[in-house]
């Protein structure tokens, strides 16, 4: 919530990065990903930051995971530097590639239909990796790179699955389930179902007449046609049968099988390897009832400069994806647009705050972008923001923020809407 700015300690200097090659990121959204990569006959060196997933005991106790074998990394090279383009009034300024490559990753992630980064598990080499990282010149097994973006709030990390691995051979990811007969210990076990036709009461085992088979669409007792299996057939019981000793039983003995080292282990002694997916967080427009005064002031201000203003706008970008923008204004004369984002939660406006709005502004391409905040600005953030055409207006006094916005708009537009 906007309010009086409290005195904070001086922020730590933002680490300076070595200047990198120039690249017009504002055109990357229109390029197919294969154009960004220059495949060569070389492989990635294993990243020193790579985090090996740590197993968890099924019973809840932690256990040490042995080092997995090196990732089989795809052959690729770093991102190609595009030709510099001449700046025009309608073109966003050129920007340098950040050393951490987080902004390039966000652009690649925006191209994915579900905006989700998922790992690939290699059961032969007993490792997992994220192929999208290779597209930005990052080692595909560098999980720490993704975790850093999740910790700063740019990405959202969620559990994708838990792999049960052998407690003795924790470097072996591949395991499967085995069912044993409790009487003769045979693996030749089948599952049995008992089917009942609700209309006539006919009961049979699936080994005799399988109602779930589409070919068996007629009840053998009443000869009526079965049109809806779920509604017309009931499954009153399920059990198992050993095809060797012919014994029938409710509960089979379940064991896990370590495929690489060819031995069984008890499911309760197994360890977990957790895999994670990473999704792109949508920018949530934080306009609430507490901001009524600010909202009214901005409406009046932008209307005076001949803008039509929409709050909590959903704007469609060049890629066809939609983005949430707290304040989106369009000039009625020139058609030029202003996107206004608001940061109220951060103690300081940091690089992660720029990353959180980077994808929307690159895709929407507004003429001007404002980031309003009542917090201080971390050193080094303003120059980075300007590379993407983002004007940061920060002040502990809400009325002064409105005044700064008016100064910014008045420099570019007159009261009658003409530049």
Domains of the chain: 22-174+270-280 (no CATH), 182-251 (no CATH), 289-410 (3.40.1350.10)
| pLDDT tens by residue, 79-129 | 333 333 333 333 333 333 334 577 788 778 877 878 889 999 998 888 899
Say yes or no to pLDDT of 31 above 50: no
The three-state secondary structure class of 326 is: strand
For residue range 294-341, what is the model confidence (pLDDT) as tens digits? 777 887 888 889 999 888 888 888 877 788 888 899 999 899 999 998
Q: What pLDDT shows up at residue 130?
A: 93
Looking at residue 4, its pLDDT comes to: 40
Residue 416 has pLDDT above 90, yes or no: no
For residue 271, with 0-12 CB atoms within 10 Å meaning exposed, 13-18 middle and 19 or more buried, which class applies? buried
**pLDDT band at residue 290 under the 50/70/90 scheme:** low
Tell me, what's the pLDDT at 222? 93
Contact 382, 351 (CB under 8 A): no
Name the band, by pLDDT with cuts 50, 70 and 90, for residue 282. low
pTM of the complete model: 0.54
Whole-number percent of the chain with pLDDT over 70: 72
**Which pLDDT score, from 0 to 100, does residue 345 have?**
64
Of 319, 356, 331, nearest in space to 341 by CA: 356
Q: Write out pLDDT tens, residues 51-70.
A: 545 555 554 433 333 333 33
Residue bearing the bigger pLDDT, 374 or 247:
247
Token pair listed for 126: 């007993």
Q: Residue 322: its pLDDT value, please? A: 82
Kindly report, residue by residue over 399-413, the tens digit of the pLDDT. Answer: 888 899 999 999 988
Mean pLDDT computed over 273-291: 69
Residue 9 to residues 13, 185, 291, 376, Cα–Cα distance (Å): 12, 69, 27, 10
Q: Residue 27: is its pLDDT beyond 60? A: no
- According to the model, what pLDDT value does residue 54 have? 55
């Amino acid at each position: 919530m906007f309010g009086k700015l409290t005195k904070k300690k001086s922020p730590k200097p933002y680490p300076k990065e070595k200047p990198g090659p120039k690249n017009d990121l504002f055109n990357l959204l229109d390029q197919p990903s294969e154009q960004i990569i220059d495949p060569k006959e070389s492989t990635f060196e294993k990243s020193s930051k790579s985090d090996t997933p740590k197993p968890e005991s099924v019973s809840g106790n932690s256990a040490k995971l042995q080092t997995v074998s090196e990732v089989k990394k795809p052959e690729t090279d770093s991102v190609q530097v595009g030709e510099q383009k001449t700046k025009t009034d309608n073109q966003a300024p050129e920007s340098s590639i950040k050393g951490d490559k987080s902004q390039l990753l966000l652009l690649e992630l925006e191209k994915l239909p579900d905006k989700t980064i998922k790992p690939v598990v290699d059961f032969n080499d007993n490792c997992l990796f994220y192929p999208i990282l290779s597209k930005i010149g990052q080692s595909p097994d560098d999980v720490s790179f993704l975790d850093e973006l999740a910790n700063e709030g740019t990405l959202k990390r969620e559990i994708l699955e838990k792999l049960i691995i052998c407690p003795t051979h924790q470097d072996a990811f591949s395991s499967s389930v085995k069912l044993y007969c409790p009487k003769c210990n045979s693996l030749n076990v089948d599952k049995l179902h008992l089917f009942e036709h609700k209309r006539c009461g006919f009961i049979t085992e699936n080994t005799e007449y399988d109602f779930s088979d589409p070919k068996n669409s007629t009840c053998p007792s009443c000869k009526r046609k079965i049109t809806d299996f779920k509604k017309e057939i009931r499954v009153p019981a399920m059990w198992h049968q050993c095809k060797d000793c012919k014994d029938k039983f409710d509960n089979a003995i379940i064991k896990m099988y370590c495929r690489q080292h060819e031995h069984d282990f008890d499911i309760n002694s197994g360890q977990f390897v957790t895999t994670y997916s990473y999704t792109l967080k949508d920018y949530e427009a934080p306009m609430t009832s507490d901001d009524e005064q600010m909202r009214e002031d901005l409406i009046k201000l932008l209307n005076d400069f001949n803008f039509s203003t929409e709050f909590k706008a959903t704007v469609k970008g060049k890629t066809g994806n939609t983005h949430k923008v707290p304040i989106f204004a369009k000039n009625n004369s020139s058609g030029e647009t202003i996107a206004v984002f608001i940061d109220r939660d951060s103690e300081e406006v940091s690089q992660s705050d720029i990353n959180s709005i980077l994808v929307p502004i690159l895709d929407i391409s507004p003429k001007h972008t404002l980031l309003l905040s009542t917090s201080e600005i971390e050193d080094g953030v303003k120059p980075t923001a300007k590379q993407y055409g983002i004007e940061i207006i920060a002040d502990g006094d809400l009325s002064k923020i409105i005044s700064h916005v008016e100064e910014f708009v008045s420099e570019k537009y007159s009261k009658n809407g003409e530049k």
